[in-house]
Structure 1
Amino acid sequence: MMQNSWLLLTYKVPPEPAAKRIAVWRKLKGMGAVYLQNGVCLLPKSDDHVRRLRVVENDVAEIGGEAVLLETVGLDPAQEQKVIDRFTADRDEAYREFIGKCADFEAEIAKETAAEHFTYAELEENDEDLEKLKGWLAKIRKLDFYNAPLSADADKRLNHCTALLEAYAKRVFEAQEENRPGASTRQNPNDKT
């Protein structure tokens, strides 16, 4: 069995200014790090993570703090699984939030359909919202190092949102005068040809 290897960053930063301390925390969370406790976090070992953690280590030093970066492994499979569970729990939380936003998107399409609000402006707005959902899911997936259980549900919900928007778009195109059968053959009364 191949053992997982992690990068362990432990750091201590001055309490003030809080903005700099928070910036370090955000950077680490943005990389997908899990915190074992305050100032102690883990990431799966990769060249990219080594490089990025060295940057964080430098950031910590620049604000007057201290950081130590180590490589570590679990002592046994049970300890290793605890770490993996922490990573998957964090990603499942992100997937849950994403799925909630998909539900909001679905409700918006249902509301517009029920109101028969089939306009290009509304379609464009909903298309932008779907693109945001796609981008968000891509970001979550990038940090899903251990294939969290809710990833498949998130994919299904995004596919459902895409199908709903396609159906809504069809209704919008059908509702527009220029897309109705025979619309292009009608002569404009102002046309003198």
Structure 2
Amino acid sequence: MEWLLFTYWLPPEPSRKRVFIWRQLKKIGALSAEGTGWLLPKTEPLLTAITDIIRSVEELEGTANLYTLTHFNEAQEQRNIAKFQQEREREYSGIIMECHKALKHIEREYQRHEFNFEEVEELEGDLEKIRRWFSEAKKRDFWEVPAQKEAETLINEVATRLAAFVQKTYDELQTSQEEDRPSA
């Protein structure tokens, strides 16, 4: 397996430049290589992304280098893969936690009989946020860790429960409107 090692230098001030590059590296799933740079598996999409980051570093008056590493011993490679997997497990753990919160929120609204459009919008917004986060995490999940499947299953459960809640809200609001109509 080939790997990419990215190193860069930016002026210390303003720090927002360094933060910008750090965020870009984290977004593509790069792993900090213990102070020496950033490590990624070598794939065409990641090579394209890192090339864009190099361009950004240069536009921010810095310098950047990209190396292709063609050989790690087996233990090093397994250690690197394990670090990538730990990062994704941690990220999916956050997604799983948000799914549980959303499921509890839906259940709480059922118990309170809070069937209104505002709750529907809030819950739909929560689900959309979770889906976006999952989509981004999946792009960074180069080895498809087990937690990915658990997160995906829970997202589907939230979507199913939310669809039922939306239907119940619609039914309740329709019934309420019919009861409020004057009889002829």
Q: Answer whether TM exceeds 0.5 for this pair.
A: yes
Mapped to 2, the partners of 1:171 and 1:34 lie a distance apart of 45
Bigger drift between 13-22 and 122-131 goes to 122-131
Residue 25 (structure 1) aligned with residue 22 (structure 2): yes
Query: Quick one: which of 74, 79, 86 aligns to 2:76?
Result: 79
Write out aligned runs for 1:46-125 (5 A): 46-125=43-122
> Looking at CA atoms only, which structure, 1 or 2, has the larger radius of gyration?
1
- The equivalent position to 1:166 in structure 2, one of 146, 163, 168, is 163
1:44 aligns with 2:41: yes
Counterpart Cα distance in 2 of 1:63 and 1:88? 31
Q: How many residues are matched?
A: 184
CA contact under 8 A between 2:5 and 2:39: conserved in structure 1?
yes
C-alpha RMSD over aligned residues: 2.3
Q: Distance in 1 between matches of 2:48 and 2:19?
A: 20
Secondary structure at 2:146 match in 1: coil
> Would you say the 8 A contact 2:102–2:158 is kept in 1?
yes
Question: Do the aligned partners of 2:4 and 2:39 also contact (CA within 8 Å) in 1?
Answer: yes
TM-score (normalizing by structure 1): 0.85
Are 1:73 and 1:80, in contact at CA under 8 Å, matched by a contact in 2?
no
Structure 2 residues without counterparts, runs of 5 or longer = none
What fraction of aligned residue pairs are identical, expressed as a percent?
Answer: 30
Structure 1 gap segments, 5+ residues each: none
Within 2, Cα distance between the matches of 1:120 and 1:54? 45
Structure with the largest fraction of helix: 2
TM-score in terms of structure 2 length: 0.88
Partners of 1:12 and 1:39 within 8 A in 2: no
Given the superposition, is the C-alpha separation of residues 82 and 25 from structure 1 closer, same or farther in structure 2, using an over 3 Å criterion? same
